[in-house]
Structures are given as C-alpha cells and as structure tokens.
C-alpha cells in the first residue's frame, strides 16, 4: 500500500471491516493509525479513514514519532529491527471510555506496534492488522499475550476482493511492452475497435472492463440484465443470485442474470454495498451510465417516440439516484451564457451557469454526463454518509469531542455577513463556540449529507483548534532550496518566522498568529516547513518568478 493508492487502500479497508468490527463490538472506539518511519501516519491514516467510511468509526491521528530508518530497509541490510529505536508520543489524550484500535497493514516483529501501544498507555488497546507474520512471538521485548490482535487470517474473505486489480493503463503497458504511452493509447483504441465488431457478451465485457475497471457492468439483453465473469461473482454474492457457467464461452465464463423490472430493487442494493454500477444497453448501443464519452447527446437515445415509458437513466449515482434529462441550455437574454441542469430521481435540479469551455464542449458534443454532473453538482454525485455515520462522527482527529454543531443564517442586520449561512461549533472544554461563514461547497455538502460534523469542523476550524490535519495543505514548493527556517522572538516580543531561500538570502520576518504559535510550541501539530509554506509563500513565489525571469534572460543571451 502507498499513500494515495486509493484502489489498494479501498481493497485493504474492505478486507479489514470484519476485523475492526470484531475488535470494537460493544465498545465506543477510535481508529489510531500507526506512524511511518517519517514520524507521521500516511497510508495507515488513509486506511483508517477508509475503514471509518465503511464502519462509522472515527480516526484519531494522535501518535507522532521521530524520523527513523524504515524497518524494511534495516532488514534488507541485515540490521536487527530492535536496533532501530522507535518512540511514539501521544499528542492528544484519548477520552475515557473510548477504546483505541491501532491499525497497521502488517504485524511482523512487533516493534512498531509495541511502541504505539506503550504510547497510548491504555490497557484495553487493540490492534487490527491486515497481515500477521507471527514473528512478534519471538520478540522478547513485546508482550502481546494480553493484547487483542485480529488479522485477516481469522476472517473469511472473498478471493475476488484480494485479487490485485490492474488499471487499464497498466494493462496496456503490460500488453505492449516497450511502446510509448501514446502508442499504447492508439493500440488500445484500435484493439477496442476490433473487439467492438464482435458482439459477444464476453467481448463486450472485455472491452468495457478495460475502460471501467472499477465498475460493475450490467448488460441489458432482452428483458434481463446480465453480469459477466468477476462481476457475476460479485453480483451473485451481494444479491444472492445463482451464478452459472454458460456453455458457449462467448457468453463469458460466469453469468448472473435478473429480470429488468428488478433493477429498481437490485441497483440500490449494489450501490449501498459501495459498488459503482454501469448499465450497458443492448449490443450496438452506447453505455448509459459510465465515464465513457457520449459522442451524441444522450437525450437522443432516450427520446420518447410516442410511447409513455419511464426514461432509462443516463447515469446512476453512488447513492442509487437516477440522473435523467441532463442537458445544457442557452440563455435567451444572454446567448453567450449556458446553463447545465438535470433531474435526479425525477426532481429537477436548479440550473448552474457553465464555464465557457464546458459550454463549448457541450456544443461540440465532446462531453460526458458524468463529468458535467461532477463539475456542477458534485455533492449529488458523492456517496452520502449514512445517518448513523453522520451522527457518530462527532470526534475530531485529535480525539476531542464536538459538543455542538449547527448551521444557521445570520439575522443581525448590523453585521457584514448578514443573510449568510454560518457554521457554529463548540468543542468539549471550550468556554465559547466558534462561528464562520460557510462556503457554498460546504453548505451543499452539509445539506446533501456527503460530509460529517467532524469533517466540517476540521475543515473550517482546524487551525483555530490546532489540528495537524489543518496544516497538511501547507507544502513548500519543489525546485527551490528553502532552509534555515527560523522561528525567533523579536525585540518587540513577537514570535516571527523567516527562512533562507536559495541564493537570494533571508526573507522578511513574518509574525505568527496565536493559534499557530500554540500549534508549534505546545501541541506540536505543525512543522517549521508547514509554517514557512503558510507565511512565506509570497516571498517564495516572488523568488521563484525572479529565478524564472533570470533563466529566460540567460537563455535569450
């Protein structure tokens, strides 16, 4: 697993759901990701958050450590793992009554896990791992005898989920060997054209699966929908349908079928299981719901020719809602202005003004419904959080509890933000709450329930609350040497930050605000580099621009 590798992390998370639920049964738990060798959790944090989405258990990234040699490197160099000192510290105490579940991908020698357990200091700490080599049993320094460890070996899982899924890109690389990326694309296209001439279900499946590896493909044939091969196995398991082996291999190796009228029942079930579903019309017609481009307006395909039938959806969202009537229209008052709109489960969505480039793409028929829906109605396309998950997610990443959160409209006419929707939050231990004007994206996310109270509070008040997560967005630009970052107290008693940028010398000293001072000196939830990125960006950008100009001047000479 790597940070950002969403596919692997999603698969790992699904494999660990049973483990985590078993450990947390009957308890109020939080997931604690194990820090990596850099001293902070990276992919383990993403893994925890993904598990959290599936189980409703919140993640608390409360462990920090010092940078150390990665244990896998130590092993490669024949160094003993116990020779690598691993110490973690707890940056925020776990509330009483909350059971921490440490999460890691592999339990090997146990050094890292033991350091995490010691730092948490809770005798009820549990450990959830994906794999367990059992080498820790030979480690005399750790005592896991009393520990609750659950791993995948104790859980049953579907081998289909374990199978490494190659992306379409990697598949084409494998197939074409040393060809360049451009050649790969044209090869894949040419190959797809040849396959398209073959109408067999197996051939269609192979062609479309390459383009949509993450989607369950349902093929409409006559009065039924069919899933093929791996999709048939998944659909059969989830919907309790029989899976057969067609005699004719052109129909695939495995097949699961259900009648058309059952789509309204089965489709939401698949979506609730976290599946992305694409419906493929009769052979020869275009994919109705996918990321594939619609070269002709889909309106034409679904146009009612005198018969009163419900329209087949152009797209089905992750929440099982059907998108129909998606189209753009020109303003009669300002012909240069275009609006996009659609119906969601028959309900009209309010039109949104389009960007000129998108309006042009629509007119050139070079667009996809999926792309426009994600651009103009992003929160309708995201997966909703269940009401249970929403109500449960009241704990911040540092373990603090949200006492109260609400959204309200400012009624005080004397205020500048009169009439605007604001987010109010009060955290346990705070005397007074905090309020901030909400951005439209946050208000929509709140209304459509694709976010949770903890996420909203972290996003809007993160720095004020000294949360590490709030500072993650601050990163120094690459390609320019920035060092000797100093945080010093000035003659006037103010703490200020400055840095040396390349050969240009030191920046001006910029004062730190109260929250950031606390984050740096007290809670240790921000690094010098992050503060430099936050405060010194104008100077850094200026230096970068100057450098570029100098380089260009040098080239001209």
Partner 1 sequence: MSERTYDELVQLHQSGKITWLQLVEQSEDKDDFIQWCKDHNVKPDDNYAELYLEQTEEEMSFSQGNWDSYEKLQGQ
Verify binding: residue 391, partner 1, rule CB under 8 A. yes
Q: 329 CB contacts (<8 Å, ≥6 apart)?
A: 338, 339, 341, 351
Verify binding: residue 332, partner 1, rule CB under 8 A. yes
Q: How far is the CB of 270 from partner 1 (least distance, A)?
A: 22
Closer to partner 1 at the Cβ: 258 or 339?
339
Element (H, E) at 8: helix 6-24
Structure tokens at 513: 């605000």
Q: 250 CB contacts (<8 Å, ≥6 apart)?
A: 200, 201, 202, 203
Q: Which of 17, 168, 192, 407 binds partner 1 (CB under 8 A)?
A: 407
**Residue 78 burial (CB < 10 Å; 0-12/13-18/19+)?**
exposed
Verify binding: residue 2, partner 1, rule CB under 8 A. no
Closer to partner 1 at the Cβ: 144 or 339?
339
Q: How far is the CB of 421 from partner 1 (least distance, A)?
A: 7
Verify binding: residue 436, partner 1, rule CB under 8 A. no
Closer to partner 1 at the Cβ: 157 or 339?
339
Q: Which of 284, 335, 387, 554 binds partner 1 (CB under 8 A)?
A: 387
Closer to partner 1 at the Cβ: 339 or 474?
339
Which region, judged by CB under 8 A, interacts with partner 1, from 269-277, 294-302, 335-343, 545-553?
335-343
Q: Checking phi first, is residue 537 left (phi over 0); if not, alpha (psi -120 to 50) or beta?
A: alpha
Q: How far is 465 from 463, CA to CA, in rounded Å?
A: 5
CA-to-CA separations, 320 to 42, 208, 380, 412, in angstroms, rounded: 32, 21, 11, 40
Collapsed DSSP state (helix, strand, coil) of residue 213: coil
| Count of CA atoms in the C-beta half-sphere (13 A) of 458 | 25
Closer to partner 1 at the Cβ: 446 or 535?
446
Closer to partner 1 at the Cβ: 216 or 359?
359
Verify binding: residue 351, partner 1, rule CB under 8 A. yes
Q: How far is 191 from 207, CA to CA, in rounded Å?
A: 9
Q: How far is the CB of 353 from partner 1 (least distance, A)?
A: 5
Asked if 202 contacts 251 with a C-beta cutoff of 8 angstroms, the reply is yes
Q: Which residues of 331-354 are buried (b: 16+ CB within 10 A; e: fewer)?
A: eeeeeeebbbbbbbeeeebeebeb
Q: Which residues of 397-431 are buried (b: 16+ CB within 10 A; e: fewer)?
A: bbbbebeebeeeeeeeeeeeeeeebbbebbbeeee
Question: For the window 223-252, what string marks contact with partner 1 as x by the rule CB under 8 A?
Answer: ------------------------------
Which region, judged by CB under 8 A, interacts with partner 1, from 56-64, 148-156, 188-196, 332-340?
332-340
The sign one gets for the Cα dihedral 514, 516, 518, 521 is negative
Closer to partner 1 at the Cβ: 72 or 329?
329
Question: For the window 24-43, what string marks contact with partner 1 as x by the rule CB under 8 A?
Answer: --------------------
Q: How far is the CB of 545 from partner 1 (least distance, A)?
A: 31
Collapsed DSSP state (helix, strand, coil) of residue 431: coil
> Residue 94: how many CB atoms within 10 A of its CB?
20
Q: Which of 136, 205, 367, 390 binds partner 1 (CB under 8 A)?
A: 390
Give the ranges where 453-536 is alpha helix by DSSP (H).
453-461, 468-471, 514-521, 528-535
Q: How far is 238 from 429, CA to CA, in rounded Å?
A: 45
Closer to partner 1 at the Cβ: 67 or 411?
411
Verify binding: residue 335, partner 1, rule CB under 8 A. no
Closest CA to 464 of 379, 553, 388, 526: 526
Phi, psi dihedral angles at 155 (to 5 degrees) = -115, 150
Verify binding: residue 350, partner 1, rule CB under 8 A. yes
Q: Which of 68, 211, 426, 449 binds partner 1 (CB under 8 A)?
A: 449
Which region, judged by CB under 8 A, interacts with partner 1, from 46-54, 196-204, 403-411, 495-503?
403-411
Phi, psi dihedral angles at 33 (to 5 degrees) = -75, 140
Closest CA to 40 of 11, 68, 16: 68
Could you give the angle at which helices 168-176 and 201-211 cross, rounded to 10 degrees? Answer: 110
Contacts 24+ apart (CB under 8 A), 296-300: 296/365, 297/327, 297/365, 298/326, 298/369, 299/325, 299/327
Q: How far is the CB of 450 from partner 1 (least distance, A)?
A: 12
Verify binding: residue 347, partner 1, rule CB under 8 A. yes
The count of chain residues that interact with partner 1, using the rule CB under 8 A, is: 26
Q: Which of 157, 339, 495, 518 binds partner 1 (CB under 8 A)?
A: 339
Which region, judged by CB under 8 A, interacts with partner 1, from 117-125, 402-410, 479-487, 488-496?
402-410
Verify binding: residue 348, partner 1, rule CB under 8 A. yes
Question: For the window 107-136, what string marks contact with partner 1 as x by the rule CB under 8 A?
Answer: ------------------------------
Verify binding: residue 329, partner 1, rule CB under 8 A. yes
Which region, judged by CB under 8 A, interacts with partner 1, from 93-101, 211-219, 233-241, 386-394?
386-394
Q: How far is the CB of 425 from partner 1 (least distance, A)?
A: 14
Verify binding: residue 418, partner 1, rule CB under 8 A. no
Structure tokens at 361: 């793409």
Q: How far is 13 from 402, CA to CA, in rounded Å?
A: 26
Verify binding: residue 200, partner 1, rule CB under 8 A. no
Q: How far is the CB of 432 from partner 1 (least distance, A)?
A: 20
Q: How far is the CB of 185 from partner 1 (least distance, A)?
A: 36
Verify binding: residue 447, partner 1, rule CB under 8 A. yes
For partner 1, the binding residues (CB under 8 A) are 329, 331-334, 337, 339, 341, 347-351, 353, 387, 390-391, 406-409, 421, 444, 446-447, 449
């Amino acid at each position: 697993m790597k940070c950002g590798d969403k596919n692997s992390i999603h698969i790992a998370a699904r494999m660990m759901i049973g483990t985590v639920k078993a450990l947390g049964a009957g308890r109020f738990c939080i997931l604690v990701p194990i820090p990596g060798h850099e001293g902070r959790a990276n992919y383990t944090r993403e893994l925890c958050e993904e598990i959290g989405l599936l189980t409703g258990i919140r993640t608390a990234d409360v462990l920090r450590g010092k940078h150390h040699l990665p244990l896998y490197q130590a092993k490669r160099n024949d160094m003993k793992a116990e020779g690598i000192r691993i110490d973690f510290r707890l940056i925020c105490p776990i509330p009483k009554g909350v059971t921490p579940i440490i999460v890691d991908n592999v339990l090997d020698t146990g050094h890292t896990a033991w350091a995490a357990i010691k730092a948490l200091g809770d005798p009820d700490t549990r450990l959830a791992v994906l794999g367990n080599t059992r080498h820790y049993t030979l480690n005399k320094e750790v005592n896991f005898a009393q520990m609750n460890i659950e791993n995948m070996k104790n859980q049953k899982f579907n081998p289909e989920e374990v199978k490494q899924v190659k992306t379409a890109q990697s598949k084409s690389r494998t197939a074409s060997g040393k060809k360049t990326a451009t050649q790969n694309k044209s090869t894949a296209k040419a190959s797809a054209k040849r396959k398209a001439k073959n109408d067999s279900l197996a051939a269609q499946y192979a062609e479309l699966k390459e383009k949509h590896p993450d989607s369950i493909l349902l093929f409409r044939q006559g009065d039924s929908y069919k899933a093929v091969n791996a999709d048939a196995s998944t659909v059969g398991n989830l919907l309790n349908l029989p899976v057969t082996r067609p005699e004719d291999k052109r129909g695939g190796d495995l097949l699961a079928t259900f009648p058309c009228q059952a789509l309204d029942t089965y489709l939401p079930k698949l979506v609730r299981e976290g599946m992305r579903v694409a419906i493929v019309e009769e052979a020869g017609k275009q994919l109705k719901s996918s990321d594939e481009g619609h070269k002709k307006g889909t309106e034409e395909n679904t146009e009612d020719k005198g018969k009163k039938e419900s329209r087949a959806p152009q797209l089905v969202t992750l929440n099982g809602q059907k998108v129909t009537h998606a189209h753009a229209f020109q303003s009669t008052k300002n012909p240069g202005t275009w609006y996009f709109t659609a119906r969601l489960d028959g309900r009209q969505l309010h039109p949104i003004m389009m960007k000129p480039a998108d309006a042009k793409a629509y007119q050139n028929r070079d667009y996809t419904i999926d792309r426009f829906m994600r651009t103009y109605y992003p929160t309708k396309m995201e997966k909703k959080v269940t009401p249970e998950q929403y109500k449960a997610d009241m704990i911040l990443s540092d373990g603090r509890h949200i006492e109260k959160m609400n959204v309200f409209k400012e009624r005080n006419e004397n205020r500048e933000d009169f009439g605007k929707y604001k987010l109010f939050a009060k955290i346990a231990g705070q005397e007074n709450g905090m309020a901030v004007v909400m951005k439209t994206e946050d208000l929509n996310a709140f209304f459509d329930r694709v976010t949770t109270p903890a996420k909203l509070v972290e996003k809007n008040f993160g720095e004020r609350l000294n949360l590490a997560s709030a500072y993650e967005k601050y990163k120094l630009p690459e390609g320019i040497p920035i060092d000797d970052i100093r945080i010093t107290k000035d003659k006037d008693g103010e703490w200020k930050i400055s840095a040396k940028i390349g050969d240009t010398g030191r920046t001006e000293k910029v004062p730190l605000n109260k929250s950031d001072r606390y984050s740096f000196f007290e809670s240790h939830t921000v690094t010098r580099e992050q503060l430099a990125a936050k405060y010194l960006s104008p100077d850094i950008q200026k230096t970068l621009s100057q450098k570029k100009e100098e380089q260009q001047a040098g080239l001209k000479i």
